[in-house]
Structure 1
Amino acid sequence: MPLENQKNYYSHECRHNESGKSLGRYRYKVFGLHVASDILLPELLMAVNTHEPPEAIISIGGVPAGIADAIEKTESYQVSKNHFLFKVSGVGCYYVTNGNRIVVEPAEQAEEISVRLFLLGTAFGSLLMQRGMLPIHGSAVVSNSCCVVFTGVSGAGKSTLLAAFRERGYSFLTDDVAAVSVDADGVARGLSAYPQQKLWRDSADTIGIDTASLTPFYSRLNRDKFAVPVHKGFWQSSAPLVAIYEIGAEMCRNVTLKPLSGMDKLAVLISHTYRPWLIDGLGLKAAHLKLCVAIARQVAVSRLTRPEGVFSLEEQVHVVQQDMTRLFAGRMI
């Protein structure tokens, strides 16, 4: 539904600080951050303590036409240290600065779900980078109060495997963007996102989810990707990161799992960073490498290979469960 027809989509009745800047009408908790927003974001969980100062603010307003000191500039985006400006045709413009503010300027006739999709995806991914976190293009589940991440290229089967683990009672931590931070004790932790999974129609069909009542993304162009609410079993706090599984498909007979080491582990983290083309422009190349090294040193990284064009979901789950059992047993010694 177009924004102009949604009176409650964003609010002019916003709280302000002493400088007059908007502090947002709505308060949320996402990726471990207390966020104040002018925009109603039904995907997110409401913050419990709304009196604590927000760590990031989302506001509706005009964005600059460009960034004066842009290090990288294309027709769709501009980026410099602590500044990221991008435009999505028919959706809007987003301006992300200093890891604590996102300004959204919706396009005329823009649909709510599309505006939120890019806000919670690319815009938040860049904000996490600016805050020194590692956003991984992947999904995560929790077991034994620890989390594992499934990553891989688009179409590798991340969403299908995630849904299969959810069906087996594993807690859901995040989908699409798996944010990882290193805490004060040096421990890598996966951060809780929000209770929604994105599923392609074929993935939903594979695991028996009826898409008839689900909301499609990209409703004007593509109605084959859906928003799946996941409030049951959603893990609302961070969890130590134990393992990362890179999923890939090849012409082979069986599902295999290959533990990686050294530079191969590091390569997985680097290559599957969410929106990696932002790193150089944001001036984060050295910091990103340092963060990936710190995470690779303490987290198991494996390559999960499945037969291309063959249904092997049960075998994939079995192989990963066996490896998780081994890893969790090792942590208890």
Structure 2
Amino acid sequence: MATSPGMARLQAETVLREGAVPESLPDALTVTRTYEISRDAFLLRLPMGLAFHYRRGAGTIYACAASVSDKEVSLFFDGSVYGAIAWLNGLVPLHASAVSHAGGVYAFTGVSGEGKSTLAAALARRGLTVCSDDVLVLDLTEPGEVMAVPGHRRLKLWADALALTDRRSDDAVRPGIDKFYVADQIPFDAQPLPIRRLYMLQSVVNADPGIGPIIGADRFAALRSAYYRPQFCSAIADQADYFATASRLSSAITISRFNRSRDTTDFAAGISMIEADIRGTHG
């Protein structure tokens, strides 16, 4: 199976085991009510009685109250902790879901609720392969290419999105939350691929839907808005490295804005629009 230096590093660093979690990080650069971060470690403490401690080269230790389920442990480890591990190892996590086509990755980003996972689930129905759900990690190791690392191999959808995409629900992601893991078998990428395009999702009201390029300084701003947990990056990166990374990504990735109606009667037309754009712009 093909891999990349970043993918190999991420796999080695995302080892999780139960144990004792420290109260604080002695070398923390940022301290908040829920997390602390240093140049080589991350500490997350949640009010529900769940805590994680990651240190580079040593993996992650978690501790939890008896009321916390294994699914909740996985949910937070695959989210905030995973994002912190990526940033601390020189990778760039995006708040994005993604599919692949013709050897390249096409990602969708936007504010929570804009339908990133829904697009991936719908496009998988049309023969595209899912690369990542919610968090997409980019590997900048290769000088001439930005590689997308395959993400967690399960999709999560809200109840209304399950109906829209004709998917079956599995367990809820958390007790009392109307969001579920998808029970259907969905094809996922197993190897890193170059990222070709990043779509910024935007709902439109009383306007024509469409896909258009984002150009100039707007590209830089759009890319930075796509970062997953950007506060982690801000805490550990100096300004020069921060802007150098964003500049490289904005020049290497085509960035488009996808304006579409959120009316359910327009859903299929929106999926057809972005499918045509993906299939017509590869290479």
Gaps of 5+ in 2: none
Query: Corresponding residue for 1:118?
Result: 76
Mapped partners of 2:57, 2:258: distance in 1: 34
The TM-score normalised by the length of structure 1 is: 0.77
Greater CA radius of gyration, 1 or 2?
1
1:217 equivalent among 166, 173, 181:
173
SS in 1 for 2:276: helix
Change in Cα spacing, 1:56 to 1:158, as seen in structure 2 (3 Å) is: closer
User: In the alignment, residue 174 of structure 2 is paired with which amino acid?
Assistant: Y
Change in Cα spacing, 1:130 to 1:179, as seen in structure 2 (3 Å) is: same
SS in 1 for 2:277: helix
RMSD: 2.2
Mapped partners of 1:218, 1:145: distance in 2: 35
Matched, 1:167 2:125: yes
Query: Corresponding residue for 1:205?
Result: 163
Matched, 1:187 2:141: no
2:47 equivalent among 89, 95, 107:
89
- How far does residue 89 in structure 1 lie from its aligned partner after superposition? 2.1
Q: Indicate conservation of the 8 Å contact 1:128/1:134, yes or no.
A: yes
Mapped partners of 1:313, 1:100: distance in 2: 45
Mapped partners of 1:170, 1:254: distance in 2: 26
Moved over 6 A (4+): none
Change in Cα spacing, 1:282 to 1:183, as seen in structure 2 (3 Å) is: closer
Change in Cα spacing, 1:35 to 1:271, as seen in structure 2 (3 Å) is: closer
- How far does residue 100 in structure 1 lie from its aligned partner after superposition? 5.5
Task: Compare relative contact order (CA 8 Å, sep 6+) and give the higher one, 1 or 2.
Answer: 2
Query: Corresponding residue for 2:279?
Result: 325
Matched, 1:152 2:110: yes
Matched, 1:71 2:25: no
Mapped partners of 1:105, 1:281: distance in 2: 25
- How far does residue 278 in structure 1 lie from its aligned partner after superposition? 1.3
Q: Indicate conservation of the 8 Å contact 1:134/1:288, yes or no.
A: no
Mapped partners of 2:91, 2:10: distance in 1: 16
Identity of aligned residues (%): 24
Q: Indicate the structure with greater helix content.
A: 2
Q: Indicate conservation of the 8 Å contact 2:149/2:192, yes or no.
A: yes
Moved more, 147-156 or 292-301: 292-301
Gaps of 5+ in 1: 1-28, 37-53
Mapped partners of 1:166, 1:285: distance in 2: 39
Mapped partners of 1:231, 1:307: distance in 2: 28
The TM-score normalised by the length of structure 2 is: 0.90
Q: Indicate conservation of the 8 Å contact 2:83/2:229, yes or no.
A: yes
User: In the alignment, residue 33 of structure 1 is paired with which amino acid?
Assistant: A
Mapped partners of 1:87, 1:286: distance in 2: 31
Change in Cα spacing, 1:308 to 1:167, as seen in structure 2 (3 Å) is: closer
Matches within 5 A, 1:165-314: 165-211=123-169, 214-219=170-175, 221-222=176-177, 224-229=178-183, 231-283=185-237, 285-309=239-263, 311-314=265-268
CA displacement, residues 275-303 of structure 1 (integer Å, 9 cap, x when unaligned): 11212222355433322211211211011
SS in 2 for 1:140: strand
- How far does residue 34 in structure 1 lie from its aligned partner after superposition? 6.6
Mapped partners of 2:54, 2:238: distance in 1: 15
Query: Corresponding residue for 1:33?
Result: 8
Mapped partners of 1:175, 1:236: distance in 2: 14
SS in 1 for 2:152: coil
Mapped partners of 1:181, 1:230: distance in 2: 29
Mapped partners of 2:129, 2:58: distance in 1: 29
Mapped partners of 2:259, 2:105: distance in 1: 20
